[in-house]
Amino acid sequence: MRVLNKWIQKEPSKNAITILKDRYFLKDGEGNYLESTWDEVAKRIARHVAAAEVNYTNDIEEIKNAEEHFYQLIKSRIFLPNSPTIFNAGKTMDRQLFKKDIEETTLEDYKTIFDSRTKHNMLSACFVIPMDDSMSAIFDAVKNAALIMKYGGGVGYDFSVLRPKGSSIAGTGGKSSGPISFMHVFNTAASTIEQGGARRAAQMAVLRYDHPDVFDFINSKKDNKGNNVLNYFNISVNIDNPKEFKKMLEEDGDLTLEHPASSIRKTIKANDLMNKMVENAWKTGDPGMLFLGRHNQYYAMSEHTPVTATNPCGEEPLPPFGSCNLGSIDVAKLVEDMDLGNPNSPDISEFQEIVYWAVRFLDDVIESNIYPLKEIEEISKKQRFIGLGMMGLADALYKKELPYNSEQARKFMAKLTAELAYFSHVASTELAKERGNFPDFQRSKYPNGFIPFPMLDDEIDEDIKVWNEKIRQHFQGEATKYKRNVQTNTIAPTGSISNLADTSSGIEPNFLLSYVRYMTNKEGDRVPLSYINPILMEKIGTNMTEELKAEIIEKGSIQNIDSIPNEIKKIFVTSMDIPPKDHLLAQHVIQSYLDASCSKTINMPKSSTIEDVKAIYLQALELNLKGLTIYRDGSLETQVLTSSSQE
């Protein structure tokens, strides 16, 4: 593929290599590096995942063809799988099998790779673990979660099933200590685990808005200074029906807090709940809101296995014991040569091909994955969740000279996501024809012509109308018979992999145009990684004096630099330059074409008031969102990135 060839030649930056070395290159038992180049990593992942094709064919050429496509996608960094796939593929296996040239690799080699997989080869980033309202079930869940986190997966839980604090316990005659006390147990367990030997564990706690302990839940991270209280948790309040809740707020209605396993009942004002959520979110960013009713509306298996929580960053709703492996296409690289989002683009088949191979890769990961629990393996193989998304959106917009906070950019985002969703679903249908439907297909909503996302109105744009028509035809036609994966699209934060790809993360605007990022290496030393956005560097060209560079590094944004022309300022906006409502609208248009969800933070300036935060929370209840996370600048002490002036 033409565009892959161009990027295969480009080596990762110095920053990317530093991260690879610290977190991703394989090491032996004594800590000696077994790898030293990106090429070796790409080959290892491609071969490990392609080995899953032995389940479908004995034709060695077909398997090699798959490996070659996977290798090109990864080596070019046009597509990267989630971190666990990068650091766990091929781990603890015979190195010689990965060193052979592809020409010399035999069918036996692929079979050996497939058969020698062990618990170390856990490849997914996202899990949801259920618990029952009993001591043994809670501690089973702690153990299950620990196993997942150990190998690099993030875990979400619905704590709503636990009876509220103070409820009677029949067996002991005592009183329950409530869901928040148990969250601390999970938090402590997580604190002892270093994921894949490389990073912190991450968890999501969900609680229903009408659980009697909801105020304790909302307050559970109130005193968080970033590193002390429940620091291995994000917390989200589940409001099943956001429009109904909004009505309750407008009518200043009462809300009854109750739980099926308890006699505790409290009546509160819905507005008091909202105000508390907003106040705490203003202080620390937590809690977020989650709309599981909407998730289930667009989930093809909700009638049998409704989703109950999301993974830690909120982009992947899953049923109990669900898992999902993610991958992201770097659209910033592609926009240089492709007219993405345009349904009449002459190179559209090339993008379709990239998406096909990315979907096939993620579908193969389901087979080549080793699951931490048999319950997880069962549902993951019955429904076959995959999450293909994108990274590099902000850099793509810089290259296309579209300000992130403009109507034009939003149309581009919608068309691009529609195109990605359409081709992903077409690929999943093609794979189903070759490999069979996901086993639960007949019980799902797909045979009835179900469309797994809301879509935007036809009227807003001619191209959107074209994508909508293609999507409708697909889901009313072939998709009623063939679907390999229950869900296909998720947009991850890509917090680490976007650095490997030297691109902006996920669908977020750039947080800063330049920064010094401190990475703590294995020895515990803080290593500075300095960065200035390369697209901006190129745009300013020879006018980029050393003095100007220093000023950009100092400020992180260019909005208050007089010597930079207004046209450039308009395009090169950062998270904090963008009004919160434009963050929300970007999330809305992108979410309209996602069957799963996306990771997005609504960044707000430090000066925002509690009322400003409330306005965003209220707007989120109205739009077609599946959740909301806000972050007010400076509200947590451990902000991940800071411009150099703040360091």
Consecutive H or E run containing 366: helix 348-368
Decide if residue 517 touches ligand UDP (CB under 6 A). no
Quote the Cα angle for 8-10-11, to 5°: 110
Decide if residue 383 touches ligand UDP (CB under 6 A). no
Q: Which stretch binds ligand UDP (CB under 6 A): 59-67, 89-97, 194-202, 433-441?
A: 194-202
Near ligand UDP by CB under 6 A: residue from 450, 495, 559, 570: 495
Contact 636, 285 (CB under 8 A): yes
Near ligand UDP by CB under 6 A: residue from 497, 573, 589, 613: 497
268 token code pair? 């509160």
Residue 228: strand, helix, or coil: coil
61 is catalytic: no
Closest CA to 561 of 547, 579, 541, 575: 547
What is the phi-psi region of residue 252: left when phi exceeds 0, alpha when psi lies from -120 to 50, beta otherwise? left
Decide if residue 309 touches ligand UDP (CB under 6 A). no
Decide if residue 327 touches ligand UDP (CB under 6 A). no
Q: How far apart are CA 179 and CA 161, in angstroms?
A: 9
Decide if residue 226 touches ligand UDP (CB under 6 A). no
629 token code pair? 């996370």
Kindly state the smallest distance separating residue 426's Cβ from ligand UDP, in Å: 25
Identify any residues that bridge with 297 across adjacent strands, giving them in sequence order: none
Q: How far apart are CA 67 and CA 49, in angstroms?
A: 8
Kindly state the smallest distance separating residue 149's Cβ from ligand UDP, in Å: 7
Catalytic residue among 144, 280, 311, 405: 311
Decide if residue 493 touches ligand UDP (CB under 6 A). yes
313 is catalytic: yes
Decide if residue 205 touches ligand UDP (CB under 6 A). no
Helix, strand, coil shares of the chain as percentages rounded to 5? 45, 15, 40
Decide if residue 234 touches ligand UDP (CB under 6 A). no
Closest CA to 86 of 325, 313, 315: 325
Taking the alpha carbons at both ends of the chain, their separation in whole angstroms is 43
Decide if residue 83 touches ligand UDP (CB under 6 A). yes
DSSP category for residue 21: I
Who contacts 223 (Cβ-Cβ below 8 Å, separation ≥6)? 229
DSSP category for residue 20: I
Decide if residue 89 touches ligand UDP (CB under 6 A). no
Who contacts 254 (Cβ-Cβ below 8 Å, separation ≥6)? 267, 268, 269, 270
- Site size for ligand UDP, by CB under 6 A? 20
Decide if residue 200 touches ligand UDP (CB under 6 A). yes
Residue 229: strand, helix, or coil: coil
Kindly state the smallest distance separating residue 536's Cβ from ligand UDP, in Å: 23
126 is catalytic: no
DSSP category for residue 644: G
Decide if residue 302 touches ligand UDP (CB under 6 A). no
Read off the amino acid at residue 157.
Y
Kindly state the smallest distance separating residue 349's Cβ from ligand UDP, in Å: 28
Catalytic residue among 126, 313, 324, 598: 313
Contact 288, 312 (CB under 8 A): no
Catalytic residue among 315, 316, 367, 508: 315
Distances (CA, A) of 311 to 201, 474, 603: 12, 29, 21
Near ligand UDP by CB under 6 A: residue from 6, 95, 199, 443: 199
Decide if residue 601 touches ligand UDP (CB under 6 A). no
Near ligand UDP by CB under 6 A: residue from 312, 320, 343, 372: 312
Near ligand UDP by CB under 6 A: residue from 187, 311, 468, 608: 311
367 token code pair? 């087979």
Nearest-CB residue to ligand UDP? Answer: 154
Q: Binding mask 107-146 vs ligand UDP (x if CB under 6 A, - otherwise)? A: ------------------xx--------------------
Kindly state the smallest distance separating residue 204's Cβ from ligand UDP, in Å: 8
Kindly state the smallest distance separating residue 344's Cβ from ligand UDP, in Å: 32
Decide if residue 627 touches ligand UDP (CB under 6 A). no
Which is closer to ligand UDP, CB of 396 or CB of 500?
Answer: 500
Contact 623, 580 (CB under 8 A): no
Give the residue numbers marked as catalytic.
311, 313, 315
The contact set with ligand UDP (CB under 6 A) reads 82-83, 125-126, 153-154, 195, 199-200, 202, 311-313, 315, 492-497
